[in-house]
Structure 1
Amino acid sequence: MDHCDECGFDYPSVPAAALPGRLHEFGTRYSTALSAARDPRRRPAEQVWSPLEYACHMRDVLRIQRQRLTLALAVEGPEFTPMGRDERAVADAYNEQDPAVVLGDLVAAADGLASAFAPLGPAELDRTGVYPWPERQTRTLLWLGRHTVHEGEHHLLDIRRGS
Structure 2
Amino acid sequence: MLASLAANLRHAPVLERDHGSMPIPPDMPITPDAPLTPDTKNWTWVIEKPCPECGFDAATFGAKDVAAMLLANAAAWPPVLNRADVRSRPGESTWSPLEYAAHVRDVFRLYHHRLELMQRDDNPLYPNWDQDETAVAERYNTQDPAVIAAELTEAAASLSAAFGRVTDWSRPGRRSDGVQFTIESFSKYFIHDPIHHLHDVSR
TM-score, normalization: structure 1? 0.90
Give the match for residue 125 of structure 1: 169
Runs of 5+ consecutive residues of structure 1 not aligned to the other structure: none
User: Greater helix percent: which structure?
Assistant: 1
Give the match for residue 143 of structure 1: 185
Give the 3-state SS of the residue equivalent to 1:44 in structure 2. Answer: coil
Give the match for residue 103 of structure 1: 149
- Quick check: 1:34–1:159 contact (8 Å CA) kept in 2? no
Give the match for residue 116 of structure 2: 70
Of all paired residues, the percent bearing the same amino acid is: 37
CA shift digits 1:118-149 (9 cap, x unpaired):
0213xx211111135xx531011112211221
| Whole-angstrom distance in 1 between the partners of 2:115 and 2:197 | 21
| Whole-angstrom distance in 1 between the partners of 2:109 and 2:61 | 20
Cα distance, 1:9 vs structure 2:
1.0
Q: Does 1:9 align with 2:73?
A: no
**Taking CA–CA contacts closer than 8 Å with sequence separation of 6 or more, which of the two structures ends up with the larger relative contact order?**
1
Cα distance, 1:152 vs structure 2:
1.0
Residue 24 of structure 1: which of 68, 71, 77 is its match?
71
| Whole-angstrom distance in 2 between the partners of 1:10 and 1:128 | 22
| Whole-angstrom distance in 1 between the partners of 2:189 and 2:84 | 29
| Whole-angstrom distance in 2 between the partners of 1:159 and 1:136 | 31
Q: Does 1:39 align with 2:39?
A: no
- Quick check: 2:75–2:153 contact (8 Å CA) kept in 1? yes
Residue 155 of structure 1: which of 194, 197, 202 is its match?
197
* Most deviating of 9-18 and 112-121: 9-18
Cα distance, 1:79 vs structure 2:
1.0
Residue 104 of structure 2: which of 30, 34, 58 is its match?
58
Runs of 5+ consecutive residues of structure 2 not aligned to the other structure: 1-44
CA shift digits 1:91-128 (9 cap, x unpaired):
0000000000001000011000000000213xx21111
Aligned length: 156
Residue 91 of structure 1: which of 118, 137, 147 is its match?
137
Q: Which amino acid aligns with 1:79?
A: L
- Quick check: 1:44–1:50 contact (8 Å CA) kept in 2? yes
| 4+ runs deviating over 6 angstroms | none
CA shift digits 1:52-95 (9 cap, x unpaired):
00000000000000000000111111111222100000000000
Larger Cα-atom Rg: 2
| Whole-angstrom distance in 1 between the partners of 2:146 and 2:78 | 9
- Quick check: 2:80–2:86 contact (8 Å CA) kept in 1? no
| Whole-angstrom distance in 2 between the partners of 1:12 and 1:97 | 36
Give the 3-state SS of the residue equivalent to 1:129 in structure 2. Answer: strand
TM-score, normalization: structure 2? 0.73
Task: Provide the aligned C-alpha RMSD in A.
Answer: 1.4
